[in-house]
Amino acid sequence: MFVRYACRLLAPLLAVATLGCAPSYLLGVQPAQPDTLFVSGEPAAEAAVDSVALRLNFLGYEPEYLVFNAEYYNDSRRPVDIMPTAFAYAPLREAEVVPPTQRIRHGERVPAAVAAATQHLPWPGLPPAPLAALDPEPQIVQLQDGASHEARKASRTDWVGIALFAVALGTDIASSTRRRPETYDQAQTRAVIHNAAWAYQAVSTANRARHAATAEALAQRAQVLSEYALRRVVLQPGQRVRGYVYLPRFDHADGLQILAPVGQRQVALSFVQSHRRR
């Protein structure tokens, strides 16, 4: 009986210890072709349709997005409409079933299924449809509106705090002008009002600082998207444009088949997502 009870108590601790010992992996993305060209030192994939060329290279991971750099060159004799929202990708896998756990050496590259098994992570199914790229235009507007809203909250007058300090000041004036000495209960009441005013002021100051920090973060994100994201543009003959494309992350994949708009068509560019043990 005691052994069974002890095992029940130790089971959660053993589970936590097992998770704590699980390996971690570095994710990376690169073109699937063995021989690729390089853009700014990074391997890139390219495609050309109807004299419109695209070079696409991976930049890095954000908490929610895979960030790619897309560069278009219009070598045709007609204007071309560049649509960042036409980007999408289908995650691919080497194995659909999570294998039994196995020992992975440091620096070893493994399929996504093996990484999930050794980390004891849930194994989600593949998305039923390609994952569409972020549309930067409504996102920029939403971020700017959010920054303005948070900035207003950070700068608005705190009438409750002013009222509390007015009451506290009133108790001080009443205490100093009272003819009779202040009683213990009156002193305690005045102290409670003062403490409440200062406590509210501390909370209010922290909230205002939080709203100000949130406003700054949202504004910075909006500025980054405005300056660097690939946005819809009509590319005239001989012109070149580049910008970032944001695709939703799907870490449980071994490959990315990116559907990219080139000219009047959508072409497939293959990338590999690696899982390398730290």
Q: Are residues 100 and 184 in the same domain?
A: no
Query: Is 153 within a domain?
Result: yes
Under DSSP, is residue 255 helix (H, G, I), strand (E, B) or coil? strand
Say whether both 26 and 130 belong to one domain.
yes
User: Would you state the pLDDT for residue 34?
Assistant: 61
For the stretch 5-50, pLDDT in tens is 434 444 444 344 444 457 899 999 999 986 667 666 788 999 999 8
What total number of domains does the chain contain?
Answer: 2
Question: Domain holding 69: CATH number?
Answer: 2.60.40
From 242, 229, 228, 232, select the one nearest 72 (Cα to Cα).
Answer: 242
Residue 257 DSSP SS3: strand
The answer to the question of residue 55 being in a domain is: yes
Q: Is the domain of 175 the same as that of 128?
A: no
Residue 157 vs residues 162, 201, 206: alpha-carbon distances, Å: 9, 12, 14
Residue 183: domain span: 147-220
| Residue where one domain finishes, among candidates 177, 202, 220 | 220
Query: What pLDDT is recorded for position 4?
Result: 45
Same domain (yes/no): 70, 188: no
Q: How far apart are CA 28 and CA 219, in angstroms?
A: 29
Burial class (CB in 10 A: 0-12, 13-18, 19+), 225: buried
Examine residue 216 and state whether it is found in any structural domain, yes or no.
yes
What's the start-to-end Cα distance of the chain, in Å?
42
In a domain, 6, yes or no: no
| pLDDT value of position 167 | 77
Segments of the chain with pLDDT less than 50: 1-20
Burial 246-256 (b: 16+ CB within 10 A, else e): bbebbbbbbbb
If asked whether residues 35 and 116 sit together in one domain, one would say yes
Q: Phi then psi for 32, rounded to 5 degrees?
A: -75, -20
The residue out of 195, 220, 245 marking a domain boundary is: 220
